[in-house]
């Protein structure tokens, strides 16, 4: 069984069976057994392990049944991504199972491609999917994809971070536009379907697609795309506010 963990926005955890080589070489079609999510911001460290236990309980499985882990690499907030990736690495090391990393926006694109009533592309052409995730600082993380008729997705551009107005025209030209950025900037980024956050079941599914194409998913380095909000001061200042003049004078 594969355990999926994503903390790029909301916290999402899923357990799935199958996915061929990603699940011990069973060759079974992927079956998502349980998904749990928590959309509260800034509570990743408080809820993540509890959600892991919940999906295992719902599936009637124990941690010893997990044969691999898929972790969302973001992009996303510094603290949230760090919590999710550290937990995924820790569980993988404790169980001695493979760990794979996937761009979280890829999972959102797959969710858009497989959503009921998803918009179709032009006749005979792949559907174009745009994803815009809240990046704070009045910006969005975004990426553009093509979705084939069989549900497979291919990233065409991104991930990147920009102001909504900068990428509005490009993202609105897609057949589908999803992500939490559409909730925050509906005039610039109107959603075609409301899919604000990553579903960890889709994260596992897109990992299976990418591995089947021979892509290397061994990296679990976070995709921050920019420096964290808390930056080291460039000028040393004394407690008295006297700067760094010699002798503090």
According to the model, what pLDDT value does residue 7 have?
95
How does residue 244 score in pLDDT terms, banded at 50, 70 and 90?
A: very low
According to the model, what pLDDT value does residue 212 have?
93
Tell me if the domain spanning 2-103+199-212 has CATH number 3.20.20.140: no
C-alpha–C-alpha distance, residues 61 and 63, integer Å:
7
C-alpha–C-alpha distance, residues 241 and 223, integer Å:
36
pLDDT tens readout for residues 146-167: 999 888 999 999 999 999 999 9
User: By percentage, how much of the chain surpasses pLDDT 70?
Assistant: 81
Residue 192 pLDDT greater than 70, yes or no: yes
C-alpha–C-alpha distance, residues 37 and 51, integer Å:
7
Tell me if the domain spanning 105-184 has CATH number 3.30.420.10: no
- In this structure, of 45-49, 126-130, 153-157, 195-199, the range with the lowest mean pLDDT score is 45-49
Rounded to an integer, the average pLDDT of 94-114 is 97
Q: How does the average pLDDT of the chain come out, rounded?
A: 87
pLDDT tens readout for residues 195-240: 999 999 999 999 999 999 999 999 999 999 876 554 455 555 444 4
According to the model, what pLDDT value does residue 249 have?
41
Question: Residue ranges of the domains in the chain?
Answer: 2-103+199-212, 105-184
According to the model, what pLDDT value does residue 131 have?
98
Among 136, 131, 115, 120, CA closest to 172: 131
According to the model, what pLDDT value does residue 151 have?
84
C-alpha–C-alpha distance, residues 32 and 56, integer Å:
12
What stretches of the chain show up as alpha helix (H) in DSSP? 44-59, 78-95, 104-114, 164-172, 181-184, 200-212
Same fold, 2-103+199-212 and 105-184: yes
């Amino acid at each position: 069984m594969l355990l999926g963990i994503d903390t790029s926005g909301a916290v999402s955890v899923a357990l799935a069976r199958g996915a061929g080589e990603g699940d011990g070489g069973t060759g079974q079609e992927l079956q998502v057994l349980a998904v749990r999510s928590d959309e509260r911001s800034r509570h990743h460290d408080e809820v993540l392990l509890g959600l892991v236990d919940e999906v295992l309980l719902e599936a009637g499985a124990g941690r010893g049944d997990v044969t691999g882990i898929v972790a969302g690499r973001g992009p996303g907030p510094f603290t949230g991504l760090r919590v999710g990736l550290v937990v995924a690495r820790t569980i993988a090391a404790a169980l001695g199972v493979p760990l794979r990393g996937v761009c979280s926006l890829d999972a959102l694109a797959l969710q858009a491609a497989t959503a009921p009533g998803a918009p179709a592309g032009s006749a005979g052409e792949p559907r174009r999917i745009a994803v815009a995730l809240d990046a704070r600082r009045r910006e969005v993380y975004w990426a553009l994809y093509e979705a084939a008729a069989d549900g497979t997705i291919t990233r065409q551009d991104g991930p990147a971070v920009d102001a909504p107005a900068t990428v509005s025209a490009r993202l609105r030209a897609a057949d589908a536009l999803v992500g939490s950025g559409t909730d925050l900037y509906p005039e610039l980024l109107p959603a075609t379907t409301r899919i604000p956050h990553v579903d960890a079941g889709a994260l596992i599914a897109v990992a299976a697609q990418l591995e089947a194409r021979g892509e290397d998913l061994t990296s679990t380095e976070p995709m921050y795309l920019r420096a964290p909000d808390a930056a080291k001061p460039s000028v040393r200042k004394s407690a008295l506010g006297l700067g760094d003049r010699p002798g503090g004078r």
